[in-house]
Structure 1
Amino acid sequence: MPYKLSASLSAHSSDVRAVVSPTDDLILSASRDTTAIAWARTNNSSFAQTTTLHAGSRFINAVAYLPPAPGAPEGYAVTGGQDTVINVFALPSAKGEPNFSLIGHTDNVCALHTAEDGTIISGSWDKTAKVWKDFQLLYDLVGHQQSVWTVLAIDGGQFLTGSADNTIKLWKQHKNVRTYPGHTQAVRGLALITDIGFASCSNDSISVLPNGDIVSGGEDRTVRIWRGQLSLPLFPAGHILTSLPNTEGECAQTLVHPGISVWTVSTMPNGDIVTGCSDGVVRVFSTEEQRWAPADQLKAYDDLVAAQALPAQQIGDVKKSDLPGPEALEQPGKKAGEVKMIRRGETVEAHQWDTASATWQKIGDVVDAVGSGRKQLYNGREYDYVFDVDVQEGAPPLKLPYNASENPYTAAQRFLQNNDLPLSYLDEVVRFIEKNTAGATLGSSGEQFADPYTGATRYQPAQTGGAAGGSEFMDPFTGASRYRAPATVATPPLPPPPQASTGNDPWTGASRYSSSATSPVSPAQTMQTTGLANVIPVSTGYLAMYPQELNLIEETFTYLGQAVSHPLDPPSKKLTSNHIDAIIQLLERWPQSQIFPLMDLSRLVLAFCPTAYSDPALRSRFFAALFHGASWNEPWSSPLPKQRETNTLFLLRSLANVFQDGTTLKDGAWVQEVLKTLGEVPYTVLTNSLRVSLATILFNVSCSGLRETLPTPLRDHLAGLVLEILNSEKTEGEAAYRALVALGDIAYAAKEQQRPLTAEHQNTAKQVLSALPSTFPEARIRDVSKEVLTLL
């Protein structure tokens, strides 16, 4: 059943900034009107205001709940706000006055959370989090460089904090045991996912339903339910989760609100969703029909949503003459939350697709649809500003489009991505935007300013910078006291692209192979594996996994971490076919643009866990999934798209790790199938690093031929591929050298086993070996070429 409105709770006179719903019958809400309210369920779809808590003299930004205790049979409400005091109320509170006041923060208290044992953790603009037990300060958590916007008590002794410095920190008692980078904006929300880990977000509020589904609320007036294959990366506890992406096809339902922003969401044990909105209303949504509001209230709510006026920049600029009429709504939408605009007379309407009811829902009338008041046109869209940005002397300036209502971080990130510029420039571009827009906004209300972290409408930039060089911003809740943003925010550098080979082995970092004085057999017996250090679970952080898959992937990382750090003492618990099957399913399901972390994981699994994929059928599926991940069967052209080059590199490195010491090739059918598939790629389209990787695979297979007798069809196929590389390679000396040593192994084994190569291969080899030193005038290639010639 879809979620529908269950109840609308109206008593606050300003934005509802926080809600918590610890039981099916209790809701606590906090507002900018300086109060918190306790609401109790009266029947299936109704709640009544039971207590108004006078929680402070200024705006209240956070609320939490403590379970029943002596003196508080119905538990406690905990509130925090701009007066820096945390107030604790025993419920029910007849007078609405606090029983305890916790004093210690020196600035706005913007986050609260509690553990089952009664521990309270608070976060503040004073850059600290504090842990309280028995209403006394227990720990100061000091380490963030900017405001602590969100906190999460894992239990009474472990805590997570998220900050405007873009990081998440894990604390054990008062010690910071781990810091997680990854967000590019302030971390505003954390949610615990039972038996799995935690989720974090930047510009949304999040909560978790009892069935594991994710609920998010944001500044686009909506609440979204992400079900099944979530459009949200999930990580085990202790691993970072990045902010909510807009992946297609994974949002189960979108609930539009009649307000500017949904500031906060919470979930009840029964699966109902509670929201707090900028219009001052607390709302409850349910999938259970008996808890739905009466039909007339549901219609009134839909009419209220439909009556909203939406600025065009929120939906997307459009020319009225280009819009279809109402008949366009006869075609179903493609995904939950899809917005379609139609022309009805002189009015432009925005409709949103609701997958739960399979209908288009009107969400408002679009104003400014033809770009009135806009200044400049860029790439077919109108913007308030289109800046010329000089990034290189002598080169033409780059265009930076920006709307005054837009989050400058979003605009800056788009600009960097569109122009292939490093993300390390992000803060510099944001400062450029802020300096050159001077706080300009759209709209008639004096309060309508864009939060530089979230793009929200309550954050007013000042006109002058602070003494430290960073910008000062008005308090996002009052417009009064100031909050100083950092002058710079450290952005992790992007990983360097794969480099062409140099004097070092690109796989191990060791020096290049050296040839023996008498034969290539001695140097060629050592197979090459790809770099195996730094097993980092964050590699899986792009798309979601089902809980069982997530557990198996986490076990895989644990095993690899131990195997890499203690190679002589591998873990006793081995990986099984179930772990391989989980990787295969993700390789088959995730889009190829996001698949490279799995390709990298496969590279390590193939090196360290050969028994896990020894079953022939499973091994065949695994290899097929890897080739699929590299788009192997798609047409080849040069230059390769970057993502395809990356995935192909991981594929070839993975296969190089398959053929290691101890791998037996007596049943050569599967190996021959791999070589046949590798031979399908036109060699000249491969980059230098890909060529070296391919040559390494053939070199490793040739080493096996020194220890065991390869089936003749396999040996001949291997020789053909090696000769093709030697005949085609004109620029990459490392690929040529590895293929040359592989040819020496093949020739030596043929002589020792008295199984001569075919006459065609011998003739081709002699021609190649004669010409190779002229193409690559290196001593090692000249010397090995002579040695191999003597073996023919």
Structure 2
Amino acid sequence: MRGHGGPVRALAVAPDGRLAISGSFDQSAILWGIDEGAALAVLRFHDGAVNAVAALPDGRMATGGEDGRIALWRLGRPEPLEVFADHAGPVAGLAVSPDGLLLASASWDGTARVRPLAGGPVRELSGHRGNVNGVAFLPDGRLATAGYDATLRLWPAGDGPDLAVALPTPLNAVAAAPDGEIAAAGADGSVRLLAPDGRERAAVALGPRPVIALVLSPDGTRIAAATVGGSVAVIDRKAAVLRFTLVGPGLPVWSVAFRPDGELLTGGSDRLVRRWDMTSGEPIGPLALTRPPDVFAGLDGERGAEVFKACVACHTLTPDGGNRAGPTLHGVFGRRIATAPGYPYSPALKHLDIVWSAETIARLFEVGPARYTPGTKMPEQTIGDPGDREALVRFLEKATKEKATP
């Protein structure tokens, strides 16, 4: 399904399986008739990428954007029904409670929020140190949140303390099964399965590329895990084993969603929404395969490349890589801040007097983006080890260097 002008960042399927909604870095959402392969409506409201979408049981759809706002939509109306603007940073994830009464949101402002869809007080959940990338409701009403701080947090449905589960990698995504088991994944390329009390049951290693999206099949038997490397792993949840891998054009797959009949939808950097038959693991319709170069080829074991893997979901390095959630880093050394062509920078950055060099890039990760580049949309992160900062800078100097013209 074609229609977006940028990578497809988020996907959700309506409960009846006929409609889907996608969100994109092009700042739009699209409502699709899946079987017809047709766009029914293009929704434009957010000032920035649409990072998260959700389908409500009553037919409404929700979108969450880089602008920190959440909008509720109904098919046939060109404007949002309601808008919520209580997050202070980009909205990265949305989830609907099993009874359809609550909408949860995860944000790079370091919080998650739980909102009664019928109106009423919004509950703010604070505890993560840094951006919250994913959120999922458990069947008992509790909430799971996944953070860049490498913790999974479990929040009670009512009052009471949360449970913080430390994991060995920054987390990008979380999903919950009908029996309460939790799947979480992130930068190290593994999907971890945790019991409802947070104890790890199993881990499925998928390779070196970060996992950036997770979804469980409606019956909870399978997990689809999408990676920066462009593949989607389909995992047997009970056995905790990889069953097969969906191979696309090699570009990052940002979003995955199951239909009730088991068919899988994927959205990626090729700007397409693709359909997959989960019986055969084959695409439904034609599949164009054009693989981009592997930026990590020949760099296995290089420390700077390992550090950069936490950044690859948002930044490209090569001349043809283009912009993602963040601007391309090709040619970044010697470039003034907020001047990469075609990227919608935060207005505050355009007034800063910074030229990117080994020293300024190292300083960015020493003190963090919020202090060094106030007003940035970049998630808050620091690299505390001076050796790791130096290794990252050395890697970027090689990987982003402009090629001399003969």
TM-score, normalised with respect to structure 2: 0.70
Aligned residue identity for 2:153: K
Query: Per-residue displacement from partner, 1:344-377 (whole Å, max 9, x unpaired)?
Result: xxxxxxxxxxxxxxxxxxxxxxxxxxxxxxxxxx
Task: From 208, 220, 229, give the equivalent of 2:216.
Answer: 208
Task: From 397, 404, 408, give the equivalent of 2:307.
Answer: 408
Task: From 81, 94, 100, give the equivalent of 1:112.
Answer: 94
Query: Per-residue displacement from partner, 1:690-709 (whole Å, max 9, x unpaired)?
Result: xxxxxxxxxxxxxxxxxxxx
Matched, 1:177 2:159: no
Distance across 2 between alignment mates of 1:123 and 1:261:
22
Distance across 1 between alignment mates of 2:45 and 2:136:
21
- Say if 2:366 and 2:384, in contact at 8 Å, map to a contact too: no
Matching residue of 1:274? 265
Matching residue of 1:127? 110
Matching residue of 2:337? none
Q: Secondary structure at the match of 1:408?
A: helix
Distance across 2 between alignment mates of 1:17 and 1:109:
12
Cα displacement (A) at 1:267? 1.1
Q: Secondary structure at the match of 2:122?
A: strand
Task: From 242, 248, 253, give the equivalent of 1:257.
Answer: 248
User: CA separation of 1:468/1:283 partners in 2, compared to 1, >3 Å: closer, same or farther?
Assistant: closer
User: CA separation of 1:282/1:467 partners in 2, compared to 1, >3 Å: closer, same or farther?
Assistant: closer
Matching residue of 1:102? 84
Distance across 1 between alignment mates of 2:10 and 2:384:
29
Aligned residue identity for 1:171: W
Q: Quote the sequence identity (%).
A: 22
Aligned counterparts, 1:53-132, within 5 A? 53-68=43-58, 75-90=59-74, 92-95=75-78, 97-115=79-97, 116-132=99-115
User: CA separation of 1:48/1:126 partners in 2, compared to 1, >3 Å: closer, same or farther?
Assistant: same
Cα displacement (A) at 1:211? 5.5
Aligned counterparts, 1:759-770, within 5 A? none
Task: From 21, 24, 36, give the equivalent of 1:28.
Answer: 21
Matched, 1:221 2:122: no
Distance across 2 between alignment mates of 1:29 and 1:440:
23
User: CA separation of 1:22/1:127 partners in 2, compared to 1, >3 Å: closer, same or farther?
Assistant: same
Cα displacement (A) at 1:468? 9.6
Aligned residue identity for 1:122: S
Distance across 2 between alignment mates of 1:25 and 1:140:
33
Aligned residue identity for 2:174: L
Distance across 2 between alignment mates of 1:11 and 1:118:
31
Q: Secondary structure at the match of 2:93?
A: strand
Distance across 2 between alignment mates of 1:407 and 1:136:
45
Distance across 2 between alignment mates of 1:137 and 1:156:
21
User: CA separation of 1:481/1:409 partners in 2, compared to 1, >3 Å: closer, same or farther?
Assistant: closer
Distance across 2 between alignment mates of 1:55 and 1:145:
30
Matching residue of 1:139? 123
Distance across 2 between alignment mates of 1:148 and 1:54:
25
Aligned residue identity for 2:268: C
Cα displacement (A) at 1:227? 2.9
- Say if 1:17 and 1:264, in contact at 8 Å, map to a contact too: yes
- Say if 1:17 and 1:31, in contact at 8 Å, map to a contact too: yes
Aligned counterparts, 1:358-437, within 5 A? 401-402=302-303, 406-408=305-307
Q: Secondary structure at the match of 1:188?
A: strand
Matching residue of 1:19? 11
Aligned residue identity for 1:67: P
Cα displacement (A) at 1:263? 0.7
- Say if 2:111 and 2:127, in contact at 8 Å, map to a contact too: yes
User: CA separation of 1:167/1:287 partners in 2, compared to 1, >3 Å: closer, same or farther?
Assistant: closer
Matching residue of 1:483? 379
Aligned counterparts, 1:273-292, within 5 A? 273-287=264-278
Query: Per-residue displacement from partner, 1:522-541 (whole Å, max 9, x unpaired)?
Result: xxxxxxxxxxxxxxxxxxxx
- Say if 1:206 and 1:265, in contact at 8 Å, map to a contact too: yes
User: CA separation of 1:154/1:487 partners in 2, compared to 1, >3 Å: closer, same or farther?
Assistant: same
Distance across 2 between alignment mates of 1:135 and 1:86:
14
Aligned residues: 320
Matching residue of 2:333? none
Aligned counterparts, 1:217-616, within 5 A? 217-227=226-236, 230-231=239-240, 250-287=241-278, 293=284, 297-298=285-286, 301=287, 304-305=288-289, 307-311=290-294, 314=296, 316-317=297-298, 401-402=302-303, 406-408=305-307, 441-445=317-321, 447=323, 448-449=328-329, 463-464=360-361, 469-472=366-369, 481-486=377-382, 488=384
Cα displacement (A) at 1:484? 2.7
Cα displacement (A) at 1:483? 3.2
Q: Secondary structure at the match of 1:87?
A: strand
- Say if 1:171 and 1:177, in contact at 8 Å, map to a contact too: yes
User: CA separation of 1:37/1:176 partners in 2, compared to 1, >3 Å: closer, same or farther?
Assistant: farther
Aligned residue identity for 1:142: S
Distance across 2 between alignment mates of 1:258 and 1:107:
32
Q: Which has the higher contact order (CA 8 A, sep 6+)?
A: 2
User: CA separation of 1:251/1:480 partners in 2, compared to 1, >3 Å: closer, same or farther?
Assistant: same
User: CA separation of 1:137/1:283 partners in 2, compared to 1, >3 Å: closer, same or farther?
Assistant: farther
- Say if 1:466 and 1:484, in contact at 8 Å, map to a contact too: no
User: CA separation of 1:31/1:441 partners in 2, compared to 1, >3 Å: closer, same or farther?
Assistant: closer
Distance across 2 between alignment mates of 1:150 and 1:229:
22
Cα displacement (A) at 1:262? 0.4
Cα displacement (A) at 1:53? 1.6
Instruction: Say which structure is richer in strand.
Output: 2
Instruction: Say which structure is richer in helix.
Output: 1
- Say if 2:7 and 2:271, in contact at 8 Å, map to a contact too: yes
User: CA separation of 1:488/1:192 partners in 2, compared to 1, >3 Å: closer, same or farther?
Assistant: same
Aligned residue identity for 2:128: H
* Largest Rg, 1 or 2: 1
Cα displacement (A) at 1:442? 4.7
- Say if 1:465 and 1:472, in contact at 8 Å, map to a contact too: no
User: CA separation of 1:446/1:219 partners in 2, compared to 1, >3 Å: closer, same or farther?
Assistant: closer
RMSD of equivalent CA atoms:
3.4
Distance across 1 between alignment mates of 2:85 and 2:13:
25
Matching residue of 2:207? none
Aligned counterparts, 1:645-656, within 5 A? none
Cα displacement (A) at 1:449? 4.4
Distance across 2 between alignment mates of 1:160 and 1:144:
12
Q: Secondary structure at the match of 1:176?
A: coil
Task: From 148, 151, 154, give the equivalent of 2:138.
Answer: 154
- Say if 1:130 and 1:137, in contact at 8 Å, map to a contact too: no
Distance across 1 between alignment mates of 2:25 and 2:73:
18
Matching residue of 1:392? none
